[in-house]
Structure 1
Amino acid sequence: MPNDILASAISVIQRFKKTITDDPFNIKRTWVGKDICKDKTKYKGFICYKNRVVGVNFNGYNFKGNPLSVKDFIDGIKTLVIVHLNSNNFTGEIPTEISSQKIPKLFELDLSNNKFGGSFPKAVLGATNLTYLDLRFNFLTGPVDPRVFKLDLDVLFLNDNYFSGKIPETIGRTAALFLTLANNQFTGEIPKSIGQAKENLLEVLLLNNQFSGCLPYEIGMLRLATVFDASMNKLTGPIPQSFGCLRDMELLNLSYNQLYGEVPETLCKLSHLEKLTLKYNYFTQVGPECRKLIEENVLDVSMNCIIDLDNQRNPDECEAFFLKKFQCPDMKSLTYVPCNVHEFSPRKINSVGRHQPDAKARSTTYAAINKPHL
């Protein structure tokens, strides 16, 4: 006979089972009997440890309901540690009961690729023991709550929703290693406070939003970062010289913006750089180090305004752009270099004269912007 805690979990599961109207993989037919933690053929999608239900893994099950809700389901199983509900049809709001008081050991919450709507789910802020939070590919709208960047997370995926407004300055407080805000409707400047996360933030995706203004030199303080992508925005101004301090950078993508000026030579000297994508901007100069990267197919400066290179913008288009007045509010900061670039190792290439495979192929954050195929 199951103990009281296990019996309670089974009762919650049986109630939830009745709300599922479409089960294409016949998962719920295994949810029978009381041997949830003894018979591995029973209760598929549930994980046990020491006679407790500690995990829910419904990834790719494509459950449907009328409606299908997490309320009174995951918050009803107090022993949960991991909840992965990726690629189903859950709707409604995330219950406030998802908190450290109600589910004290919950440290992974994946609600991605569902149909959750409404404003930013403040309920997740109460789950203070979370290290993994994935809300991508839903229909969430409005501003992001500043407190989410104060959670002690390793992974924060908010991409592919309809979040809008400015990114809170608390982004500099994030403990995350991997941060993805891509494919939303964020506006305003990239917060300068992002440089305060320099000791932990490894991969950052801000692409395909409405960010504007100049690149803050503080991005160059993310010295341990390996991936930074702010492409497909409305950024302008030169690339700050501080970007030469991104010593571990492997992939940097600033394409499809309105950046101009000279590509910093110190940036092109970075020893780990595998791909530098600056196409569809208005850069006018590249020095000898950057030209080496062009020859190695590491640097892409196509469709800019560099007069002695092929595949550039039409001169009339460049002239029209430079007739407009663009001015960064703090031009002096763009020349500030917060490191000793001479301490960095020289660039290395492999035996066939090419750099290692594109960092994008193995990036945790780039994988997060690919919608799962069911």
Structure 2
Amino acid sequence: MAGRAALLALLLALAAPAPAASQPAAVDPRPSWAFPNARLRAAYVALQAWRRTAIFSDPANFTANWSGPDVCGYNGVFCAAHPTDGRVRVVAGLDLNHADIAGYIPASLPEGLPDLALLHLNSNRFCGVLPDTFSHLRLLHELDISNNRFVGGFPEVVLSLPSLRYLDLRFNDFEGAIPPKLFDRPLDAIFLNSNRLTRPIPPNLGSSPASVVVLAHNRLGGCIPPSIGRMAETLNEIVLIDDELTGCVPPQVGLLRKVTVFDVSGNHLQGPLPGSVAGLAAVEQLDVAGNLFEGPVPATICSLQSLKNFTYEDNFFSSRPGCPAATADGRWNCIPGAPAQRPPAQCAAAAAHPFDCSKAQCQATPPTTRRPGGRTPPAPHRSPLPHHMPPRRTPPTPPPPSSPTPSHLPPPPPTYSESPKSSIPPSTSPPSSHGASPPSSSSSPPTEHPGYVLPPLTPPPPPTTPPGHHAPVPGTPSSPPSSSWSPPQGGGGKLPFPPVHGVAYSSPPPPPSGDKLPFPPVYGVAYSSPPPPSKPYN
């Protein structure tokens, strides 16, 4: 009888609900420790809680010296005088780029570090979603969480940050729609490429003051919004590679007189290439390859004085002008007398069913059908091709971010005049990745930039060789430049290099294994960014 009672008690114990997991206890510093101010004490608590409860793996021991009250001496932690009270030092920057740390961002981290102006977590293994407490980061100017494992919908909490100017979310697993509010924010650089984003580009794209917009390698579908023409005074580079775009290129692109890179390759764009491209007076890289364009290559291409690379292979163009810019490419089209063209039957099928851009619908309701793999593809917003239309060549699948794809060599590092542990570097507008001057409207720091003390900056020189259409073969990184610079050893304090705000997306690959960078990380070179998938600028 006693045995049955004991067994019953055991079963009841197993069936009873487990007590709710308690929140991790606060990490209180030792009473003997003296902190310069309450903000640094709160930063200590937040960083210790992060390290002890939300960082699961730190194979390089990046956070090994995160102990003791000297928070400003921690690896990757940078302090500066508070912008409104210069007598108070605060944690103004957190840079864990390439640390290969696994974990997540707890809600307590932004709460304990409300004075951050830059947050760089590039190339780690952070996962989960961004907590809503990011709204505490009212001074955050640069957010780079690229090349991680973040998931969920677009993190709309970042759109509530009043000081944010540089947003880099590329190489993650964000999914769903791009919120229209993104293009209403005063962002100077937007990098969303290589996620799982779907739904068409919001029609208010043209409301954005950004100089660089990269949305490549998503499943957006839909058209290029005609409002893009309103970006004429600010847009310098736009990259929409492999986004399943449909419809026609709007003639308003001809208003983008300051654009140096316009890349819409690897989509399903149709109709003629508008003659208004003659308005792209500053364009250097114009890539429309891998689409369904038809008709003649506009003769106005020959008038583009800055054009260095015009790529239009793998389309259905039927003629081209004789200038070198147009004759240097053009394979796999329908151009009589040109080499390596499509079979006549394919060209005849395309010519028999020309696409009418006047009937193209820009924004349409996405379908509810699903493809294998769980993603919902966007609806094709164009008239269906005839059944005998030859299939397009599928764009190549981009390699993973870890595949190095080098670009131009970085310029020499700038010099600084600040005293140790006194300030963070400036976050000025992004220079062009192709050496051209940025738009004049964004040539100075934004007025809402956090008022930390900024040291002078020597701008980087332009690259010696402009990147072409074809990227170097992955796996063959260029030799690092010779330099007497040596990487910072341990400790934190002042930033030993400028932040990556405004970095060119044609950046060199992450450094090889080891704790030393093969080259000095400098302003205007995205040392912290993952390499592009297939081209120097996507």
TM-score range normalised by the length of the shorter chain:
0.7 to 0.9
Is the 8 Å Cα contact of residues 159 and 369 (structure 1) preserved in structure 2?
A: no
2:504 aligned residue: 364
Higher-Rg member (1/2): 2
* Number of the residue aligned with 1:253: 287
CA contact (8 A) 1:149 1:170 kept: yes
CA distance in 2, matches of 1:6, 1:219: 49
- Equivalent-residue separation in structure 2 for 1:139 and 1:224 (angstroms): 32
CA distance in 1: counterparts of 2:319 and 2:70, whole angstroms: 69
TM-score, reference length from structure 1:
0.85
Cα displacement (A) at 1:70: 4.3
Paired position in structure 1 for 2:124: 88
Select which of 42, 56, 60 maps to 1:25. 60
Aligned pairs (5 A) from 1:30-45 = 30-37=65-72, 42-45=73-76
Q: Summarize the alignment of residues 223-372 of structure 1 with structure 2, pairs less than 5 Å apart.
A: 223-289=257-323, 292-294=324-326, 299-329=328-358, 357-358=466-467, 364-367=504-507, 370=531
Which residue does 1:97 correspond to in 2?
133
SS in 1 for 2:318: strand
Q: Counterpart of 1:262 in structure 2: which amino acid?
A: P
CA contact (8 A) 1:274 1:358 kept: no
AA aligned opposite 2:127: T
For the pair 1:79 / 2:188, whether they are aligned, the reply is no
Q: Determine which structure has the larger strand proportion and give its number.
A: 1
**Aligned partners of 2:355, 2:140: CA distance in 1, in Å?**
48
State the partner residue of 1:109. 143
**C-alpha distance in 2 between matches for 1:205 and 1:35:** 43
* Alignment partners' CA distance in 2, 1:279 and 1:215: 17
The offset of 1:356, in angstroms, is: 6.1
Q: Does the 8 Å contact 1:179/1:365 carry over to 2?
A: no
Once residues 343 and 214 of structure 2 are traced to their aligned partners in structure 1, the CA distance between those partners, rounded to angstroms, is 34
Does structure 2 retain, via aligned residues, the 8 Å contact 1:205–1:365?
Answer: no
Which residue identity lines up with residue 358 of structure 1 in the other structure? P
Q: CA deviation at 1:288?
A: 2.3
> Contact 1:228 / 1:253 at 8 angstroms: preserved in 2?
yes
Structure 1 position 105, deviation (Å) = 1.1
> Cα deviation per residue 1:67-121 (whole Å; 9 max; x = unaligned)?
x22432134211111000111122222122222xx22211111111111111111
In the other structure, the counterpart of 2:7 is none
- Residues 135-172 of structure 1 deviation map (CA, whole Å, 9 limit, x = unaligned): 11111111110001111111100110011111111111
| Partners of 2:262 and 2:40 in 1: CA distance | 45
Does the Cα contact within 8 Å between 1:250 and 1:359 map onto a contact in 2? no
Deviation of 1:194 (Å): 0.7
Match of 1:351 in 2: none
Relative CO higher for 1 or 2, CA cutoff 8 Å, sep ≥ 6? 2
The alpha-carbon distance between structure 1 residues 369 and 47, as it changes in their structure 2 partners (threshold 3 A), is closer
Deviation per residue, 1:197-223 (Å, 9 max, x gap): 111010000010111111100111111
Task: Mark the runs of 5 or more structure 2 residues left unpaired by the alignment.
Answer: 1-33, 82-88, 361-463, 472-502, 508-528, 534-538
Match of 1:191 among 225, 229, 250: 225
Give 3-state SS (helix, strand or coil) of 2:357's partner: coil
Q: 1:62 aligns with which of 91, 95, 100?
A: 100
After superposition, the C-alpha distances for 1:271-302 in whole angstroms (9 at most, x for unaligned) are 1100000000011111222xx2256xxx4111
CA drift of 1:369 comes to: 7.3
Q: Deviations over 1:170-192 (max 9, x none)?
A: 11100111100000001111100
Alignment partners' CA distance in 2, 1:356 and 1:77: 41
Correspondence for 1:47: 78
More helix per residue: 1 or 2? 1
Confirm whether residue 118 of structure 1 aligns to residue 152 of structure 2: yes
Rate the CA distance shift 1:26–1:365 in 2: closer, same or farther, 3 A.
closer
Task: Note if contact 2:110-2:133 (Cα within 8 Å) is conserved in structure 1.
Answer: no
The question of whether the paired residues in 2 share the 8 Å contact of 1:182 and 1:369 is answered with no
Q: Which residue of 2 aligns with 1:352?
A: none
Inter-CA distance 365–185: structure 2 relative to 1 (3 Å threshold): same
Pairing partner for 2:47 from 6, 13, 32: 13
**Structure 2 residue matching 1:156: 3-state secondary structure:** strand
Q: CA RMSD of the aligned region, Å? A: 2.0
Aligned residue runs from structure 1 range 118-197, under 5 A: 118-197=152-231
Q: For residues 97 and 267 of structure 1, what CA distance do their matches in structure 2 show?
A: 50
Cα separation, 1, equivalents of 2:228 and 2:320? 27
CA deviations 1:316-372 (Å, max 9, x no partner) are 2211222334211179xxxxxxxxxxxxxxxxxxxxxxx9633568x9244477359
Cα drift, residue 251 of structure 1: 0.2
Identity, in percent, stands at: 36
319-328 or 23-32, which deviates more: 319-328
2:60 aligns to what SS in structure 1? coil
- CA–CA separation in structure 1 for the residues paired with 2:226 and 2:218: 20
Residue 46 of structure 1, CA deviation:
0.7
**Residue 204 of structure 1: SS of its match in structure 2?**
strand
Question: Take 1:175 and 1:301, find their aligned partners in 2: how far apart are those partners?
Answer: 34
